[in-house]
Amino acid sequence: MIYTYDGSFDGFLTCIFQNYYFKKATAIYNSSAWQMNILEEHMYIKTDEEKAQRVYKGMHEHLSEKAVEEVFYTFLAKSPQKENCLLNYLRLAFKMGVKIDNMYTHAYVLPIREIVRKVSFEKHRIYGLLRFKETGNFLYADYAPDNNITGLITPFFADRFSGEKFIIHDIGRNIASFYAKGNWYITEFELQQPLQVSKSEETYSRLWQQYFETAAIESRINPNLQRKCMPRRYWRFLTEMQRKQKPFKANITNKVDANDIATLIPLPN
């Protein structure tokens, strides 16, 4: 039986619940990416928060915190087979318990560890590559990560910019995290209308670009090393890589006052 779901983490955990209490799954796929085959038996599993919570509670009771974190990191990865890797991993994990942490060479553990390594690597890389722009009353940073890491990096910046208001926008997935007054959350966020940066942001951007160009020691310029540490796919979001300053544009679908994050989308109580 092939299970399909809505792409959410709770939806995936609901599939895991069904696998144990209804019918064993041969595979699990995000319904938006799965191509139906009339020869294969399949079922769409509707997200059930209660069932998802039971699975999540079971993970915490039987697995280590490390293993639970690996499950979540793997789910956030951009990998077409992540659900099936997790299905195999969780079956083994619920059987072996905390012992799975030391099963480094097992065929169901290796793929998970490799995916987690890539997600963790990108998360830490973005810590140094994300560029915020001042728009007036809040900061805005856009980026297009390979993996769905917005929820992983936001606590890092919330800790460092605790007195600020900011938006971290994943333009590839049309989602963003909003932070203000010690609280943050993630919601859908799609570009529509232009939003200009402040005058001081334009000035500092030009100064930073000038410093980046003049501080370089010509004899030590190493393009290959630069691309390795700072891949080209991130360059369009880096101030120092934009040789000619262009008007910054951040668009929002909400037709409200864009000068305050709290008025864009109200923070939950």
Residue-level pLDDT at 249:
40
Q: Give the span between the Cα atoms of 199 and 249, in whole angstroms.
A: 14
Q: What is the pLDDT of residue 265?
A: 43
The side-by-side arrangement of strands in the sheet containing 27-30 is: 27-30, 2-5, 42-44
| pLDDT computed for residue 173 by the predictor | 93
Position 57 scores a pLDDT of: 96
Distance CA 168, CA 158 (A): 11
Rg over CA atoms, the chain: 22
- Burial label for 32, CB within 10 Å (0-12, 13-18, 19+), is exposed
Longest dimension (CA), the chain: 66
Q: Who's near 243: CB < 8 A, 6+ residues apart? A: 209
Question: Cα–Cα distance between 208 and 197 in angstroms, integer?
Answer: 15
Burial code of 133-167, b = ≥16 C-beta within 10 A, e = fewer?
bbbbebbbbbbebebbbbbbbbeebbeeeeebbbb
The span from the CA of 4 to the CA of 123, in Å, is 28
pLDDT tens-digit profile, the chain (269 residues): 999 999 999 999 999 999 999 999 999 999 988 777 767 789 999 999 999 999 999 999 999 999 999 999 999 999 999 999 999 999 999 999 999 999 999 999 999 999 999 999 999 999 988 988 888 788 888 899 999 999 999 999 999 999 989 999 999 999 999 999 999 999 998 867 656 654 554 544 554 455 345 555 565 555 565 455 556 555 444 554 555 434 334 333 433 334 444 444 444 44
Residue 194's pLDDT is 58
pLDDT for 254: 38
